[in-house]
Structure 1
C-alpha cells in the first residue's frame, strides 16, 4: 500500500505543481514526497477546481443510454459477448506450466489485458500493394527491408541470431516509412497466430509513439519512471504468453532513451522470455533515432 500511495503522491505533484525537469525536480531522491507534503492543501484545492464540474450521474446515464442503443431486443449481442468471456482466471494453467499452449480463452484474455500494447493484427497488404511499398524504398532502405525479410524467412534455422539494428537519419529521411514497412514485413513473414501483431512498436515519447501507432516504452514493458520494478506473477505470465507471439521490438526516437532505460528494457525482456544470456531476451530489436 505504501508504494501505491507514493505513486499517488508522485502523480498529484506532476499534475498540479509546475516544473521544468521532472527527473531532477521531482523524481530525483523522491523529492515528490516532500513536495506533496509541503503543497498538499494547494494540490487538493486544484483537484477540486478541476473535478468539481464533473457530473457523475449524468455521465453514468449517458453510458447507460449508449449501452441500450447497441443491444437489440432479442439479446443476440449479449449472448455473443457472454459466449466470448473466458473462464475464470485463464492464466491459471500458466502458473503451473509456463510452456502451456495458448488456447482460445488465453488469447482472448491476453487481448483484453495487453491488447493496447501489442495491438490486433491489421489486414496484411495484398501482394501488388506490398510490391508497390517496396518499390517506394530507396536503395539504402531496400537493403534493410530485404535483409529483414530474409531474416524472418530463416528465423527457424539453427543458430539464427536475433537482429539488432540501429537506423539513424535526420527528419524527413524516411524513418517512419521504414518503420511502417518493417511492421508489414514482420506480420507478413512471421509465423504467429494471426491475432496479434508480430511486433511491439513504441517510442520514448507519447507524441512519437502516436505517429507510428504504438505506445510509450514505459507502458509497453511496464517500466516505472523511477526504477525497474519486478512484475507480479500474473502480469509476468501474461507478458510471457504474449511474447510467444512477438518477434521484434521497434523503438522510435531512441536518441531520447537514456542508457539506464535501455538497460531496463534489456533486463525486462530477458525476464519475460527467460533467455537471460541473450541481449533483449533473444528478440529482434530495431532502434530508430536522429
Structure 2
C-alpha cells in the first residue's frame, strides 16, 4: 500500500524509523475499507518529532483530498494556534455534553461536527489528565456509537 507520494512525505518530514512506523500505521489504516477503531499513543519527550508525524499525516490526507477525515486538537489555546486546530473542549463540546443516552441538541451538533471524521490527533497530550481522557472517550463513543469504548 506504500505509494511514491507516501515515500516523499516520509522523506520531506525526515521521519525516523519510529515516527515513520507511526505514520505508516495510520496511513495504511486509513486505506482499509472497513477499519476498526485505531488508538495510538505517541509518548516521547518534547522536541522529538511527534508534531512532525502530525504534519506528515496532515499532508498525507491533504494530498488525497481527505482533509475532512481528521481533526487536530489540543488542550490549550496556545498549542491549538501552533497546529491550527481546535481545543478539545470545543471539538467535543465537552462543557455542553449531556449524560449518556440522552440525545440533546448538543449531541446532535457533536454528531454533525464529526460526520466524516475518522481520526483525531491530540497534540500536547501530556497535559490531558485521566479525567479529561475519560470525558474525551465518552464524547467520542456517544457520538460515534463505538462498541468497546475505553470507559466501558
| Cα distance between partner residues in 2 of 1:177 and 1:164 | 18
* Matched residue SS, 1:279: coil
Measured in 2, the distance between the counterparts of 1:269 and 1:262 equals 11
Structure 2 counterpart of 1:278 = 148
Residue 40 of structure 2 corresponds to residue 165 of structure 1:
yes
SS in 1 for 2:48: coil
Within 5 A, what are the aligned runs for 1:28-67? none
Matched-pair contact (CA < 8 Å) for 1:186–1:247: no
Matching residue of 1:114: none
Write the mapping of 1:233-272 to structure 2, written as runs, cut at 5 A. Answer: 233-272=104-143
Counterpart for residue 133 of structure 1: 9
SS at match of 2:51: helix
Q: Is the 8 A contact 1:134 1:142 kept in 2?
A: yes
Question: 4+ residue runs of structure 1 moved beyond 6 angstroms?
Answer: none
Does the alignment pair 1:152 with 2:30?
Answer: yes
The equivalent residue for 2:20 is 142
TM-score by structure 1 length? 0.44
Structure 2, unaligned runs of 5 or more: none
Q: Equivalent residues in 2 for 1:51-90 (5 A)? A: none
CA offset digits 1:29-73 (Å, max 9, x no partner)? xxxxxxxxxxxxxxxxxxxxxxxxxxxxxxxxxxxxxxxxxxxxx
> What's the offset of the Cα at 1:162?
1.6
The CA distance in 2 between the partners of 1:254 and 1:144, in whole Å, is: 16
Match of 1:96 in 2: none
Distance verdict in 2 for CA 1:242–1:223, change over 3 Å: closer
Structure 1 contact 202–252 (Cα < 8 Å) conserved: yes
- The aligned residue for residue 177 of structure 1 is 52
How many Å separate the matches in 2 of 1:172 and 1:229?
A: 34
Q: Going by fraction, where is helix more abundant, 1 or 2?
A: 1
Gaps of 5+ in 1: 1-126, 281-290
Q: Indicate how the Cα distance of structure 1 residues 178 and 212 shifts in structure 2: closer, same or farther if over 3 A, else same.
A: same
The structure with more radius of gyration: 1
- Contact preservation (8 Å) 2:97, 2:139: no
Q: CA deviation at 1:169?
A: 1.5
Give the TM-score taking structure 2 as reference length: 0.79
CA distance in structure 2 between the partners assigned to 1:177 and 1:151 by the alignment: 19
Q: Which residue of 2 aligns with 1:21?
A: none
Task: Give the Cα–Cα distance (whole angstroms) in 2 for the partners of residues 260 and 199 of structure 1.
Answer: 24
How far is the alpha carbon of 1:181 from its aligned partner?
1.2
Relative CO higher for 1 or 2, CA cutoff 8 Å, sep ≥ 6? 2
Q: 2:72, 2:119 → 1: CA distance?
A: 9
